[in-house]
Structure 1
Amino acid sequence: MIGNTKIDKTDRKILKILQANGKITNAKLSEEIGLSPAPTLERVKKLENSGIIKSYHAELDSAMLGLGVNTFVQVSLKGHNKPNIETFLSRISDIEEIIECHHITGSGDFILRIVAKDIASYQQLMLEKVSDIDIVDSLQSMVILSTFKNSKEVPVPADN
């Protein structure tokens, strides 16, 4: 059982396969799990409708798109309260270079993942958009030099 959805070994196999290849055809998926196409499709629909499968995406290569600078930015707000959090989230939602935003514990309030063309573009973004948000108290940037693991696959726990 995951959440409120009962899943079995076959469902787990489907989830693993779909994470590795979201473009797999139903025919190929059914062949790999050992079921006919109709029940395979029914299982996939069940996993989608339950919310376990949220969506399907194409992963893009940011460097090939000319976005050569990737950073994490730890953000601390002037006050950690609901109005400040809502204001911050509203302001960053329109900044397309911010591709991830996580509410965190510890010394900061949020961690952002930002992509930019180059350091000059990144600096301009930080000065003109992010640090311009009046409730931002401090920013700590961490430029990603290289990435050694970037798995998009979530481990699917077995039933206990």
Structure 2
Amino acid sequence: MPPFKFDKIDRKILDILQADGRITNAQLSKDIGLSPAPTLERVKKLENTGIIKSYHAKLDTAKIDLGVNTYVMVSLKAHNKSNIDVFIDAINEVDEIIECNHVTGSHDFILKVITKDIASYQKLMLERVSEIEVVDSMQSMVILSTFKDSKVLPIPSN
């Protein structure tokens, strides 16, 4: 499928929706300079083509008692489709693993893990992740501070 062609209005819609997914169609139409009906049509087109995949609420981790964020680099015993499938199926069952990326380099995957505290992190790693039969090794990095946490994507110009 060829890449979607964005015009200035599409880019503006995407920028605004990334900043505030709860904006009303009336306010969005005012901000982009179109009437509500064509604005809604454009948003629906962006949703139907899969460019807008979903809308989410960003939660304050400290206020919901999730204080430990880590990145875990994982190496599998062998890098083949079967092991990758076993690993992915297993980590999809672990809610604390909020991101999983298949990467190049000295490790096979990087996981982003969020837990209440170090004790719950250690328990998760020892009892769940390290017990996945295809895991060979893991290396953890605890996040001390986060200085940028943007989920806003730069919209390329065509």
TM bucket (normalised to shorter chain) is over 0.9
Task: Return the offset for 1:134.
Answer: 1.5
Q: Extract unaligned runs of 5+ from structure 2.
A: none
In structure 2, what is the Cα distance between the partners aligned to 1:137 and 1:5?
41
In structure 2, what is the Cα distance between the partners aligned to 1:66 and 1:6?
42
Residue type at the aligned position of 2:112: R
In structure 2, what is the Cα distance between the partners aligned to 1:4 and 1:106?
29
In structure 1, what is the Cα distance between the partners aligned to 2:2 and 2:150?
23
Who is 2:82 aligned against?
83
TM-score, length-scaled by structure 1: 0.96
Who is 2:43 aligned against?
44
In structure 1, what is the Cα distance between the partners aligned to 2:61 and 2:52?
25
Who is 1:119 aligned against?
118
Task: Return the offset for 1:136.
Answer: 0.5
In structure 2, what is the Cα distance between the partners aligned to 1:3 and 1:56?
24
Q: Which runs of 4+ in 1 moved over 4 A?
A: none
* Of 55-64 and 145-154, the range deviating more from structure 2: 55-64
1:7 equivalent in alignment to 2:6: yes
Task: Return the offset for 1:62.
Answer: 1.4
Percent of residue pairs bearing the same amino acid type: 68
The 5 A counterparts of 1:1-160 are: 3-159=2-158
Q: Extract unaligned runs of 5+ from structure 1.
A: none
Residue type at the aligned position of 1:150: D
CA RMSD of aligned residues (A): 1.1
Task: Return the offset for 1:57.
Answer: 0.4
Task: Return the offset for 1:3.
Answer: 4.5
In structure 2, what is the Cα distance between the partners aligned to 1:3 and 1:113?
32
Residue type at the aligned position of 1:151: S
